[in-house]
Amino acid sequence: MHQLRRRTSLLVSAVALGLPFALVAGGTQPATATTTRPALARAADPGSDPGSDPGSDPGAEAALRELRAEADGGVRVDRDADGRVAQVRSADGEALVGSAATTPRAAAVEQLADHGEVFGIDGDDSTARVTQTLPSATGGTVVRAEQRVDGVPVFGGQVVVSLDEDEAVTALQGATTTATAVTATEVGEDRARRTALTGVAKWHATTTDRLRVRDLGRELYDPALVGATDAAGVRPVWHFEVTDGGAVRETVLVGTGRGEVALHFDATPALNRVVCDHRNRRTADPFATLGTCVSPARREGGAASGLADVDAAYDSVGATSRTYDDLAAADLTSLVGTEISGSDALLTTVRICFDGPEGAGPCPYDNAYWDGRQVVLGAGFSRADDVVGHELTHAFVERTSGLFYLYQSGSINESLSDVVGEVVDHRNPLSTQDDSAWTIGEDLPDADLRRDLADPTRSDQPDRMTSATFSTDVEDVHTNGGVGNKTAYLISQGGTFNGQTVRGIDAGDAGLAKTGTLYLETIPRLTSGADYAALGRTLVATCDELAATSAAGLRAEDCASVRAAVTATELAEAPRKGAAAPTVPVACPAGATMTDDAVRRDDDGIDGFGFDSTSALWSRVPSDDVPAFASSGRESLFGASPDPDGSGGSATSATLVSAPFTVPTTTGSSYFHFDHAYDFEAFGGTYYDGGEVVVSEKVGTSWRRVTGLSWVNGPNRRIMGDTASGVTGWGGDSRGYGSSQLDLGPLAGRTVTIAFRAFGDESDRATGWFVDDVRLYTCDSVLPGAPRVTGRTAGATSATVTWAAGFAGQGLSGWRVTRPDGTTTDLPASARSVTVTGVDPRVTGRVVVTALGRDGAAGGAATAVFTPTTATVTASVARARSGRTFTVTGRVTARGTSTVLPGRPVVLQRKASGARTWSTVGTGTTGSTGAKAWLVKQTRATGYRVVVKPSGAYFGSTSATRLVRMR
C-alpha cells in the first residue's frame, strides 16, 4: 500500500450532495457563482417584504428599491429560504408598473431591461430572452423569458412577467442563477451523446438500437434550480432527450468538463394505474407506430367509428379541449397539437401495445402518457376523461411552465394534471360516473388503485408538507402530488383541515369554473423548477390578479380561501423528512457514560486510523480539482465511483482500509461512528453503484470478514453492480451529510481492520462517497444490566422467582420487585429469589425484577410470567353399569385460550352420591394434547373432578364436577 495522498486529477460531480458554493469545470470558481434558489418561501403570502438577507446581491436589492419607487400602490415581495427575491407583485392584483410598449413581448423586454436585475438579469453577463407569450383570463398576458449566461441558456433559469390588458406589470417572478461565466468545453457532444444513450439503455433495460437521441445543445446547469444540491455546483452540460418512441423519454444532462451524468430523469408522465386485461397487437417499432398517423380511425367531425376506445378518446379529448377554451380561452390544439396533413391536430393513439428488448413487453399496455407529440393510451384508458385530461395537461405544462419531472416540481406537475383532469371530469356532460368523490381513474375498467384528491392518504400520499409519507426521492413524483391535490380540493370544495377552515370557492358550481380558471392561469406563471412554496405564492398572486378584474367571478373572499388552503397544507413549510440523510449522535446508551470520545479519529490533520488505499479512486480532499466537502472543518475522505475513463482506470471496486487496531475492552461497548454523504448511480429502484463498510478480524495469521454487528443508520440497499445477487450497502443519493454507527462491542479485545469500499458496474458514474469525522469511542455501563430469570415456581396463591445477576456495571445497589398488583418491594443486592404472596391464580401474573444502580436508579429488568390454567373433565359414558370400567379424562388449557398445556401434574378426584369429601382416584401428568385419562369403576352415582397442581410457571385450578349416573 501507498500512503493516502491528495489527488489532483478528479473533478467531483453529483446530484444532491449539498455543497454550499459553486464549482465550475477546470477548478475555477467565479466569485459571483452563487444561486437564486426556488426554495422554501418564508411565507405563502407574507404581505410585505421581510427585508433583504445579509447575503443578498446588492445589485438585486438596489434594483428592488428602484422598482418600489416606481410602483403604483403597495408592493408585495416573496423571498426564498436564502433571502433572495422570488416574486414581486402588486398588493391588490392591479397594475404595479406601467409601460409605454404596445405589445406584450415589447412590454416584457422593457420590464426585464428596467427591473430584471431584481432576479440577476443585468443585461451584460446575464440576459433574458422572451420565449413565449400566453393570453390570460384577466385580459392580459403571461410572458416567459429564458435566462442566458455568456449567451448560453440556463437549464431551468427563467423569469415570468404577468401583464394586464394595458401591458402594465402586475407580477414578476423568477428562478435564476447568478453565475457569470461558462467555462470552456472539454468533453465533446458526440462523447456526451454516447454516455446519455448507453445510460438510458441500462436504466430502462433496453438496447441502444431501440433509442433515439435529440440534441438540445449546451446549457448551464445550476442544481438548485431543480431543487437539488450538488458537490460540483454550477457547470455547463450537454442537454439530450433520449426516447424509445414509446413510454421512455429521458432527460439527460452530461457535464462538458468530465463527461459525467450530472442529472437525468424520465420526462414521460404516466398515471400508473392497473386496468383490466385487453388484447392488443404487439408493436416492435414504437417510432413507426407512434409516428405520423397515416390512417386515423376517426377525424374531426367524422362519424363515430364504432370502436369503443377510439370514440371514447375522441369524446374525452374534445371535453378537455372545451375545458381549456371555456376557462382560459386557450386553444389547446395550437398549443400542444401535432402537424398532420398541414394542420395541427390533437393526436391520440389508443390500445397501444409494445414489445420489449427480448420480445416480451407490456401487452396489453396498462397505462397512459404524453410522449411529447400525442396522448398514448392503453386499452380501456380512453373512456376515463379525467385520465385523458390529466395527460393533455402534462402537454400544456410542458409547453408552458415546463415543470421538470423530478423532486417537488415533478410532484406539482402530477398534481396540476390531476386537478385539471378532475375539472374536465366535472365539466364533461358525457361522463357517466359519479364525479363527486374527487378520485382520478374511477372510469377505468377494474381499476382498484385511484388517487383521491379529497383524501390523498387513502392512496398512501401525503396531504400536507410535514406528512410522514412525504418522499424525498428524486423520482417519487406521484406520491408527493397528494399535497397539491389536497390544496386544490380545499380551494374548490372547502372544509376544516389542519386547524384551518376553508370556504370552497366552487360552492353551487358543479363545473368548478373558479378552480379551473385559477389553475389554468397559475400553470404558465410557474418556473420549471418550482417547489410547493412557489406554487402556494403563485396561486395566491394569480387569484389576486384574477379577482382584480372579476375574471371567472373570482372575488377577494375567494382569494382568502386560497390563502387558507395554502396554509392548511403547509405549502410554505419544509418537508418533515428534510433533504439530508439520517443522523445518529455521538452518545452512549442510556445508563452508560463516555469514557473516551476519540480512541481513534480521522479528521482535519488527524489520521488516527492510518487509512490507506491501493486505489487512486480514494483520496483526501480538497485537492486541486476536488472541492472541499466536509461535515465539519475542511478535509474529508473521498471515494469516487468506478471510473473507466478517468484516473481510476477500469476499477470496479476501491477500498480504503485502516491499520490494524485492538477494540478496547470496556464494561459497556465501543462504537465506530462516521459522517458521510454519497451519490451513487441508481435508477428506478435499481442501485448500480454503492458503498459498504467491511470489518475484518485477525484469526491466527489470517483475516476473516465479520458479519452480524449492529448498525444504527446502516446499509440498506442491494447494490447490483458488484455481484449477480448484489451486496447490501449504501446506494442512491443521500442528499447531504448524515451519519452511521457500528457497535464493535462483540469484538472487544480483538484485532480488527475497518475498510470503506466503493464499488459498482464501471459505467455511467455519478460522484461517489464523502466520509468525514470518523471516530472510535467507548462507553462504560453505569447502570446494572437486567437479571436472568433462572426459575419460576407457582403456589396456590403465591409466585416464587429466582434469578442470576446480569452484567452488574458500576454499583449494583439492590433489586426492586414489582408484584402483579403493581406494588413494589426493594431487596438487597445479595438477593437472588423472592416469593410474592396473595396472588390471584385466576389471572396472568407478572413479577418484574429490576436491577438498581447508584442512588436507586433503575437499570435493566426481567419479567417472570405466571399463567393461570383451566381444567375440564369428561367421561366416556353418561351412565355406568355397576362394576364395569369406563374412562374419565381431564384436559388442561391456559385460561381464556384454547392452548393445551402438556406436562402439567393433575389429580383425579371423586365423591360418591351422599359422600361429604373428595377422594383421590389417581394422579399423573398431561400428555402432548394437554389431557390425562384414567380407568374407573363405580357402584353408585359419582361425581368426578380434575385438580391441576401449581407447578413451574403455571397456577393450579380445579375443574367443574362431572356426574356419572348408574344404569
Residue pair 481/590 in contact by the 8 Å Cβ criterion? no
Question: What distance in Å separates the CA atoms of residue 33 and residue 53, rounded to the nearest whole number?
Answer: 17
Q: Coil, helix or strand for 408? A: helix
DSSP 90-114: ESSSS-SB----SSHHHHHHHHHHH
My answer on whether omega of the bond before 622 falls inside 30° of 0, hence cis, is yes
Retrieve residue 724's grid coordinates.
449477480
Residue 924 to residues 890, 918, 920, 945: CA-CA distances in angstroms?
Answer: 10, 17, 12, 14
Question: What distance in Å separates the CA atoms of residue 21 and residue 139, rounded to the nearest whole number?
Answer: 42
Task: Name the phi and psi angles at 285, rounded to 5.
Answer: -125, 95
Any idea what DSSP says for residue 954? B
Question: What distance in Å separates the CA atoms of residue 942 and residue 932, rounded to the nearest whole number?
Answer: 19
Retrieve residue 317's grid coordinates.
379529448
Residue pair 586/776 in contact by the 8 Å Cβ criterion? no
Question: What distance in Å separates the CA atoms of residue 864 and residue 801, rounded to the nearest whole number?
Answer: 7
Q: Coil, helix or strand for 846? A: strand
Residue pair 767/14 in contact by the 8 Å Cβ criterion? yes
Task: Name the phi and psi angles at 144, rounded to 5.
Answer: -110, 140
Buried b (16+ CB within 10 A) or exposed e, 255-272: bbbbbbbbbbbbbbbbbe
**Considering Cα of 207, then 213, then 218, then 219, what sign does the dihedral take?**
negative
Instruction: Residue 204: count other Cβ atoms within 10 Å of its Cβ.
Output: 20
Retrieve residue 873's grid coordinates.
373433565
Q: Which residues contact 330 (CB under 8 A, 6 or more apart)?
A: 134, 135, 324, 396, 520
Residue pair 867/953 in contact by the 8 Å Cβ criterion? yes
Any idea what DSSP says for residue 150? T
Closest CA to 550 of 513, 503, 512, 523: 513
**Considering Cα of 480, then 485, then 487, then 490, what sign does the dihedral take?**
negative
Question: What distance in Å separates the CA atoms of residue 948 and residue 602, rounded to the nearest whole number?
Answer: 66
Task: Using the structure block, give the residue that is written with the C-alpha cell 480504503.
Answer: 656
Active site residues: 391, 478
Q: Coil, helix or strand for 38? A: coil
